């Protein structure tokens, strides 16, 4: 009789085996998650996948932010799952709430109206605080001030492929500032006047609009109207110093004053995307084709079979959203003059 399992010296031990660290330098980077205590089991699934597919070899820190205090269960479970240092921050009341220039009655009427029109999260106050926080404040949280790079992770996401290199280092080495895995058209009802506010920003601060930007990706008529393309911000790897730059702060303050976070339901995805599209050079935005990802209801799965096999992916290529008519990723390839992966036509 020959056993087909190799002898395991640690069999019987209950202590966790710490995977060998990947060689090479580390970036000044962290994962960042905004969550409620009730999200603990959903964020646990996300953490486990990020650790298994990447961070078990790198041990980057993980910052958790909440408008309330994290409870002991949340801290215990997430600390156990993360291989780097887990850190917990409470959000300043100033950054999570109505600014004094917002007319409360008007904001309440909008929520009522959006409720009647069945607009997703249209009646929610907390969702609006969340979108405003992700748009303008997370990167200035005292815990985030210590880092240069962030990777945003939400509850209940999936990562379907091994990540064979350090995406933070990739961003740094290739002078990238912002990245995405899924893009799509925004639901117009949530942002009817956002582009008007963007245009008044561009008039007021022409110095912040960069030559060689991605305006073509955002607008089909040279900036007159918005085509609603945006990067899906539940996944982001980006540069915190860019978000903390005067240009971005002027942009956020301008939009904030316009009131659309409360008088409409502006999402942080179009807000970040338009900023990246106008204020970065187009080469500074990266599409991580090899990071396979799911957040309900969309999947990004690498188009080419060889890549899926090499990276031990478990996504169904038929679920890949990239070449669907509601995705803006083909437009991104055109903007960047990149050639599309083999087989993309079969997924259109």
Helix-helix angle 125-136:268-279, to 10 degrees: 20
The closest alpha carbon to 55, from 177, 237, 183, 307, belongs to: 237
The least CB distance from residue 190 to Mn ion, in Å, is 15
Residue 3 to residues 7, 10, 12, 13, 159, Cα–Cα distance (Å): 9, 17, 17, 20, 33
Residue 23 to residue 17: CA distance in whole angstroms:
18
Q: Which residues lie near ligand GDP (CB under 6 A)? A: 33-36, 39, 66-67, 126, 130, 154-155, 234
Residue with tokens 């117009």, as numbered in its chain: 188
On whether the CB atoms of residues 154 and 296 are closer than 8 A, the answer is no
Tell me the catalytic residues: 236
Residue 247 or 271: the one with the smaller Cβ distance to ligand GDP is: 271
Residue 63 or 279: the one with the smaller Cβ distance to Mn ion is: 63
Q: How many residues bind Mn ion (CB under 5 A)?
A: 2
The least CB distance from residue 268 to ligand GDP, in Å, is 9
Q: Which one of the spans 55-63, 153-161, 222-230, 267-275 is the region binding Mn ion (CB under 5 A)? A: 153-161
Residue 292 or 335: the one with the smaller Cβ distance to Mn ion is: 292
Q: Which tokens go with 162?
A: 């091994």
Considering CB distances under 5 to 8 angstroms, the limit depending on partner class, which of ligand GDP, Mn ion, none binds residue 236?
none
Secondary structure tally for the chain: helices H, strands E: 13, 12
What is the phi/psi pair of residue 4, to 5°? Answer: -95, 10
CB atoms within 10 A of CB 166: 21
Q: Which one of the spans 30-38, 111-119, 151-159, 302-310 is the region binding Mn ion (CB under 5 A)? A: 151-159
The least CB distance from residue 35 to ligand GDP, in Å, is 4
What is the phi/psi pair of residue 178, to 5°? Answer: -150, 150
Considering CB distances under 5 to 8 angstroms, the limit depending on partner class, which of Mn ion, ligand GDP, none binds residue 126?
ligand GDP
DSSP annotation of 338: P
In the bound state, the residue with its beta carbon closest to ligand GDP is 126
What is the phi/psi pair of residue 256, to 5°? Answer: -60, -45
Considering CB distances under 5 to 8 angstroms, the limit depending on partner class, which of Mn ion, ligand GDP, none binds residue 66?
ligand GDP
Q: Does 154 bind Mn ion (CB under 5 A)?
A: yes
Radius of gyration of the chain, Cα coordinates, nearest whole angstrom: 21
Considering CB distances under 5 to 8 angstroms, the limit depending on partner class, which of ligand GDP, Mn ion, none binds residue 35?
ligand GDP
The closest alpha carbon to 104, from 125, 135, 134, 132, belongs to: 125
Residue 26 or 36: the one with the smaller Cβ distance to ligand GDP is: 36
What is the footprint of Mn ion within residues 162-221 (CB under 5 A)?
none
The least CB distance from residue 67 to ligand GDP, in Å, is 5
Residue 66 or 329: the one with the smaller Cβ distance to ligand GDP is: 66
Considering CB distances under 5 to 8 angstroms, the limit depending on partner class, which of Mn ion, ligand GDP, none binds residue 67?
ligand GDP
Considering CB distances under 5 to 8 angstroms, the limit depending on partner class, which of ligand GDP, Mn ion, none binds residue 158?
none
Could you tell me the end-to-end alpha-carbon distance of the chain, in angstroms, rounded to an integer? 52
Residue 5 to residue 156: CA distance in whole angstroms:
33
Residue 148 or 154: the one with the smaller Cβ distance to Mn ion is: 154
What is the footprint of Mn ion within residues 225-244 (CB under 5 A)?
234
Note the residues at the interface with Mn ion (CB under 5 A). 154, 234
């Amino acid at each position: 009789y020959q056993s087909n399992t190799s002898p395991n010296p640690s069999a019987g031990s209950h202590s966790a085996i710490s995977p060998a660290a990947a060689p090479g330098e580390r970036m000044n980077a962290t994962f960042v998650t905004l969550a409620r205590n009730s999200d603990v089991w959903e964020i646990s699934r996300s953490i486990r996948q990020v650790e298994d597919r990447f961070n078990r070899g790198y041990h980057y820190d993980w910052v958790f932010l909440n408008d309330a205090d994290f409870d002991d269960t949340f801290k215990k479970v997430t600390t156990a799952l993360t291989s780097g240092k887990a850190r917990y921050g409470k959000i300043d009341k100033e950054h999570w709430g109505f600014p004094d220039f917002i007319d409360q009655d008007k904001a309440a009427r909008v929520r009522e109206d959006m409720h009647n029109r069945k607009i997703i999260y249209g009646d929610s106050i907390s969702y609006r605080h969340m979108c405003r926080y992700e748009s303008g404040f997370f990167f200035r949280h005292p815990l985030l001030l210590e880092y240069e790079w962030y990777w945003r992770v939400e509850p209940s996401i999936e990562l379907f492929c091994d990540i064979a290199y350090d995406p933070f280092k990739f961003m740094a080495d290739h002078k990238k500032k912002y990245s995405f895995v899924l893009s799509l058209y925004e639901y117009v009802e949530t942002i009817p006047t956002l582009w008007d506010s963007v245009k008044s920003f561009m008039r007021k601060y022409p110095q912040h609009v960069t030559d060689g930007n991605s305006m073509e990706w955002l607008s089909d008529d040279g900036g007159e109207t918005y085509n609603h393309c945006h990067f899906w911000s539940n996944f982001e790897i980006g540069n915190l110093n860019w978000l903390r730059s005067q240009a971005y702060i002027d942009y956020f303050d301008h939009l904030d004053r316009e009131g659309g976070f409360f008088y409409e339901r502006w999402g942080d995805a179009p807000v970040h995307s338009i900023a990246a599209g106008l204020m970065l050079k187009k080469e500074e935005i990266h599409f991580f084709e090899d990071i396979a990802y799911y957040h309900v209801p969309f999947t990004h799965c690498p188009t080419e079979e060889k890549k899926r096999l090499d990276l031990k992916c478990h996504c169904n290529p038929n679920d890949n959203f990239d070449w669907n008519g509601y995705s803006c990723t083909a437009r991104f390839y055109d903007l960047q003059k990149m050639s599309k992966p083999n087989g993309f036509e079969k997924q259109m």
